[in-house]
Structure 1
Amino acid sequence: MTVNNPAPTRPDRRHVITDFTRPVYCVLGLPFDALDMQQTVDLLLARAGNAERCFFSTPNLNFLITSQQDPVFRDSVLRSSLSLADGMPVVWLARLLGLPFTARVAGATVFERLRDQRTMPVSVFFFGGPDGVAQQAADVLNAGEGRMRCVGAYSPGFGTLEEMSTPAIIERINASHADLLVVSLGAKRGQAWIEHNLRALDTPLVSHLGAVVNFVAGTVSRAPALVGRLGLEWLWRIKEEPALWRRYWGDGVALVRLLTTRALPAALDARRLRAAGAVPVLHESDDGGRYTVTLGGAWRLAALGELRLALARATARPRRIHVALRDDCSLDSAALGLLLLLYGHQSKTGNALSVDAASASLRRTMRLQNVEFLLQGLPGNTGTAATGADFAAQR
């Protein structure tokens, strides 16, 4: 079935704008948006309807663990427009830290909701998956009764990043005028491919949604909803794909280590911080070459409005940014989440970022939350170009 969509007006994406109003929280080193399923679908439909770019990541436990050993992979999540808690272990960890996450927002379920909703038709392009599966998924989707239609499918095989990113491939995707590009290349490879090609792509919504192409094609069955809610989807996936047992075993061992060395101490630390009542203090200065934001006191979710505005001002144009955290400064998960967004912004624009934390207490909080890398900062002239150079090491 062929679906002809009018070519959308291509927005100017050269200027990077980061949304510091996002309800984002730091969970052991990664930012997660506290959105429920309906809020997520509504946001994505609005972005698609306005031809507005949204690169959304769906970190699960494996993402969380891998990001601690792989800074390039971690930074791909930090540079995302949206980061959804795909996996009950992530939700459990967030709840342990006292964060307002009530349910997982699985990427596969997001796709299903976009497929089944009646608000607006959504067109999709499947990129990746085993040979022939993307086209099989396209045929199944187009034979269904939903309003979503597949306008293109392509399996690039297992070549290098450059071999999967030729002008012909990018033009094939753009010529489809798809609203949603579903990438299925494996988490590391998929995130790297998206970052390498994002500026050349016209598709408003872009995400690596791993097994979605297999679920749609019917080559792998998805776990029942109850199994997913109980956090037992990994058992179902092993039943469907026995080779995955090694990955899930490794993730389980790593989860126990995370709980004992990071999550439980961080939860106790967060409880201590909630009891602190120092008035938050913020000062901004711009010497023409560097914008400095100085923070003191206790920065909690309820007081972050001023900080959100300050970071928006700091990033209004490309420049070096310095964040000075005074001796009396403490940051909760929401404040740390904003610093992760700032790091992602500076990484995308290739501008320097430096963060200084004076107190041992704050450094301990950052260590427990796996965000010590913020203190290492970013030199100038870094950004997404680095992902392509490092891709070979990820294969």
Structure 2
Amino acid sequence: MKNEKVKVLNVTFDNLSHKKFMFQLMKCIKEEKKTFIVTANPEIVMYANTNQEYMRILKQVDYITADGIGIVKGSRMLGTPIIERVTGYDLMLDLFKEANQMKKKVYLLGAKQEVIEAVAKKLEKEYPGIDLAGYHNGYFDLTDKAIMNKVLGAEPDLLFVGIGFPRQEKWIQQYLEQADKGLAMGVGGAFDAYTGVVKRAPAIFIKLNLEWFYRLMKQPSRFKRMLVLPKFLIAVRKEKKKG
């Protein structure tokens, strides 16, 4: 299957539908191929353009999805439209379903202790076919070898890391350099959404691409972070003028 790529501000996205992403990811899992997925939004793209180490990581990963309507809009402005937004949260849920059917080992890393415990409990209830290899909260130092060895020893088929960028991508890179197999994906705050600690936007907001607005209403403290979107679109316009 041909995998078309689209570049937005020096970050290369895989231009696949959610369905085709899942098809390719399931193939990787079945073949026990080490796979690194990044779900990138405008904030991540802008950060990568100011941080060489992080950009270097992004250039080495296996898949980058457009997790953010801003990325899709930016690609259209550049004349290389991305098919659709593919969110990390939706990918995570579908990977849970597939892992359940295939009876695969899953490891969860991130969030507060009470949240990750709730995720584990919910996962075992909703997906009894999953072999929960372990879980740990996200409050640890990136250089903590005990955590790294614990996850490596569990040998998960799927690893979900929710400690926020750029930490989660840095940690996953270190992990995959040592692991023999496994699909690993940074999921940011997806564990909070999965347990309902943070409410996901209603379907109408998601359909109208206004999920960001709903989150801003619920969490006004995110305002400063949201300012990156207009900066991103201005940067895209400049990129377009360059040709």
* 2:13 is the alignment partner of 1:32: yes
Cα distance in 1, alignment partners of residues 127 and 143 from structure 2? 37
- Other-structure match for 1:10: none
Cα distance in 2, alignment partners of residues 112 and 181 from structure 1? 13
Structure 1 residues 26, 259: closer, same or farther in 2, change over 3 A?
closer
Matches within 5 A, 1:213-362: 213-248=191-226, 250-263=227-240, 265-266=241-242, 269=243
Structure 1 residues 192, 138: closer, same or farther in 2, change over 3 A?
same
* 2:89 is the alignment partner of 1:108: yes
After TM superposition, what 4+ stretches of structure 1 lie above 4 angstroms from structure 2? 145-149
| 1:173 maps to which of 147, 151, 154 | 151
Please say if residues 57 and 173 of structure 2, whose CA atoms lie closer than 8 Å, have aligned partners that are also in contact. Answer: yes
SS in 2 for 1:174: helix
Aligned-pair Cα RMSD in Å = 2.2
1:131 counterpart letter in structure 2: Q
Cα distance in 2, alignment partners of residues 83 and 98 from structure 1? 19
* 2:117 is the alignment partner of 1:135: yes
* 2:178 is the alignment partner of 1:200: yes
Cα distance in 2, alignment partners of residues 111 and 153 from structure 1? 15
Q: Deviations over 1:249-290 (max 9, x none)?
A: x21331342244224x25xx3xxxxxxxxxxxxxxxxxxxxx
- Other-structure match for 1:74: 55
| 2:164 maps to which of 178, 186, 189 | 186
Structure 1 residues 243, 91: closer, same or farther in 2, change over 3 A?
same
Please say if residues 101 and 129 of structure 2, whose CA atoms lie closer than 8 Å, have aligned partners that are also in contact. Answer: no
TM-score by length of 2: 0.89
Cα distance in 2, alignment partners of residues 78 and 251 from structure 1? 22
Q: Deviations over 1:26-49 (max 9, x none)?
A: 112100111111111111111111
- Other-structure match for 1:97: 78
TM superposition shift of 1:145 = 4.6
TM superposition shift of 1:193 = 1.3
| 2:67 maps to which of 86, 95, 99 | 86
Cα distance in 2, alignment partners of residues 154 and 139 from structure 1? 13
Q: Deviations over 1:291-329 (max 9, x none)?
A: xxxxxxxxxxxxxxxxxxxxxxxxxxxxxxxxxxxxxxx
* 2:31 is the alignment partner of 1:50: yes
Cα distance in 2, alignment partners of residues 176 and 228 from structure 1? 36
TM superposition shift of 1:75 = 1.6
Structure 1 residues 156, 211: closer, same or farther in 2, change over 3 A?
closer
Q: Deviations over 1:127-186 (max 9, x none)?
A: 111233212211111111574453311014143x212xx1x3223213333221111111
Cα distance in 1, alignment partners of residues 81 and 9 from structure 2? 15
Structure 1 residues 23, 259: closer, same or farther in 2, change over 3 A?
closer
Structure having the higher helix fraction is 2
SS in 2 for 1:194: helix
SS in 1 for 2:33: coil
Structure 1 residues 113, 225: closer, same or farther in 2, change over 3 A?
farther
Cα distance in 1, alignment partners of residues 112 and 202 from structure 2? 23
SS in 2 for 1:181: strand
Could you tell me which runs of 5 or more consecutive residues in structure 1 were left unpaired when the two chains were aligned. 1-20, 270-395
* Number of residue pairs aligned between Structure 1 and Structure 2: 241
Could you tell me which runs of 5 or more consecutive residues in structure 2 were left unpaired when the two chains were aligned. none
Please say if residues 37 and 62 of structure 2, whose CA atoms lie closer than 8 Å, have aligned partners that are also in contact. Answer: yes
SS in 2 for 1:83: strand
* 2:36 is the alignment partner of 1:65: no
Please say if residues 115 and 122 of structure 1, whose CA atoms lie closer than 8 Å, have aligned partners that are also in contact. Answer: no
